[in-house]
Amino acid sequence: MHRTTHDNFRRSAQPGKQPDANAATLPAVKKNLRTENAYINTGRLIFGVALRARRKLFPAVEEKHVGAIRARQRHEEARAVEHRVAGHGHIGKRAGRGAERHRDVVCVRAFVRRESSADEAAKLGPISEFPVGEFQKRTVTVTEHGTWLTGPVEKTLWIRRNADDTFLVFSGTCPHMNCIVNLTPANTFECPCHHSTFDSEGKVTAMPAPRALDTLEYRVSGEGILSVQYQNFRKGLTTKELVPAS
């Protein structure tokens, strides 16, 4: 009995024979990781369901949220490029290249104002669907040609049918920084991002919007079908200027 205990002690004292403490904790670590991954996947599932529900139940909130994000991204990109302009201008001044400095600034400013283009006809349906004297919100899908990507996007329109069966068609994007404008109970428009306001004819009643809401051309076919020529116009300018095809 004494010898057996001694032999066991000798075997346990050998370097290669000692029990591995990590081997005992490895299953527990794996179990914890599986539990954490389950929590993460469950959270993603809940977030996805909530996001889809918000888009379906509260489209106005979703449009405001997306418009604000896009406006903030464009603002940050513009500020970053303006800093580069300032840097190039300082270098050009030290080097004494006034003409080259001017060309650099013009090119970079053109890059800042480069926006996605769109120029496409969209059918909206029979004119009988539009009540006289009331603005109606419609969404159309057009192909937008961006600096990096090209693909279908949804665009908002505000349409009013007049008593003589002519139409007033506004682009739903604010000419300031591209947020989606909302119709107020007084039949005027307000931008939720920077609180520009417009009257029922699209004229600016409160800045910072630099110009009136952009109007779009329309056409009524012989069958009484209304179509709109959707176009993207440059933002932040005092005059209405079409974004050229990319």
- What is the layout of strands, in order, in the sheet containing 119-126? 119-126, 225-231, 217-220
- Residue-level pLDDT at 112: 43
Does 155 or 94 have the greater pLDDT score? 155
126-154 core/surface letters (b: 16 or more CB in 10 A; e: else)? ebeebeeeebeebebebebbeeeeeeeee
- Residue-level pLDDT at 39: 74
Q: Is the pLDDT of residue 103 over 80?
A: no
Mean pLDDT over residues 68-85, rounded?
A: 57
Instruction: Judge residue 108's burial from the number of C-beta atoms within 10 Å of its C-beta, 0-12 exposed, 13-18 middle, 19 or more buried.
Output: middle
Binning pLDDT at 50, 70 and 90, where does residue 72 land? low
Does 36 or 135 have the greater pLDDT score? 135
Mean pLDDT over residues 232-239, rounded?
A: 93
- Residue-level pLDDT at 68: 64
Q: Is the pLDDT of residue 52 over 90?
A: no
- Residue-level pLDDT at 77: 57
| pLDDT, the chain, mean | 77
Tens of pLDDT, residues 106-129: 333 434 446 888 889 999 999 999
Instruction: Judge residue 157's burial from the number of C-beta atoms within 10 Å of its C-beta, 0-12 exposed, 13-18 middle, 19 or more buried.
Output: buried
- Residue-level pLDDT at 199: 97
Q: What percent of the chain has pLDDT over 90?
A: 45
Residue 117 and residue 233: Cα distance in Å, rounded? 8
- Residue-level pLDDT at 86: 47
- In order of start, what are the domains of the chain with their CATH numbers? 29-112 (no CATH), 119-231 (2.102.10.10)
Binning pLDDT at 50, 70 and 90, where does residue 15 land? low
| Helices vs strands, H then E, count in the chain | 4, 10
Does 2 or 193 have the greater pLDDT score? 193
Contact indicator for 196, 206 with CB cutoff of 8 Å: yes
Q: Among the listed ranges 81-85, 112-116, 152-156, 222-226, which one has the minimum average pLDDT value?
A: 81-85
Mean pLDDT over residues 73-97, rounded?
A: 49
Residue 214 CB neighbours (<10 A)? 21
Distances (CA, A) of 191 to 86, 108, 168, 206: 31, 29, 19, 10
Tens of pLDDT, residues 223-235: 999 999 999 999 9
pTM of the model: 0.55
Q: Among the listed ranges 4-18, 159-173, 185-199, 224-238, which one has the minimum average pLDDT value?
A: 4-18
- Residue-level pLDDT at 40: 78
Q: Is the pLDDT of residue 176 over 70?
A: yes
